[in-house]
Amino acid sequence: MAEESVFSFLGASAKSQAAAIKAQAAALAVDYETISGYKKVVDDLLTKLGNSEASDKKLAHTTLPEGTLGTGFAEAVDLFSAYEKVQTELQNLSKGLAGHIEALGLAVQTAGKSFTEVDYETKRRLAAIAKQAEDAYVEERDPLVKEQKAQEAQQAPAGEANKPKGNI
């Protein structure tokens, strides 16, 4: 009944809009138990990654010494170089994955709060993870960027695709 008195000055259309907004707000309510359970799942994943052989720290300690794959021929040098590159990329992937899982956990933990209610350390950590992800981003590896460029090339007028871009 109190709600009716709050909206009593509104017309029928405005009352229905207010009711729709109220229904949407209720749908966005965060259930603490659900969020807590989800955070536990995320924390467990982070712990499992940290304890597994895929941990960036464990990957760093399982490198082969140079010369293990042979010496005196170019193929051995190329193979070892490829091995080192894959090892480095696996470490980077593991570190990035751990950062993303941590960020997901922090986001779940702060769900339902306004930005001003989130403590400084959490904001700082989220910003640091975002910066690490941005620094690690390699556009040439992004399949979405390749797809967008392909779509742009298809959408360009026939004569436009072959024209040089920029000032000549």
**pLDDT one-digit tens code per residue, 50-62:** 788 777 777 777 7
Quote the pLDDT of residue 132.
92
Report the candidate in 60, 44, 69 with the shortest Cα–Cα distance to residue 92: 60
Q: From CA 3, how far away is CA 22, in angstroms rounded?
A: 11
- Residue pair 45/97 in contact by the 8 Å Cβ criterion: no
Indicate the SS3 state at residue 167: coil
pLDDT-above-90 percentage for the chain? 13
Q: What is the pLDDT of residues 16-54, one digit of tens each?
A: 777 777 776 666 555 556 666 777 787 787 788 778 877
- Write out the two tokens for 109: 């933990």
Q: From CA 37, how far away is CA 150, in angstroms rounded?
A: 42
Quote the pLDDT of residue 135.
92
Domain boundaries, the chain: 30-143
Query: Model pTM greater than 0.85?
Result: no
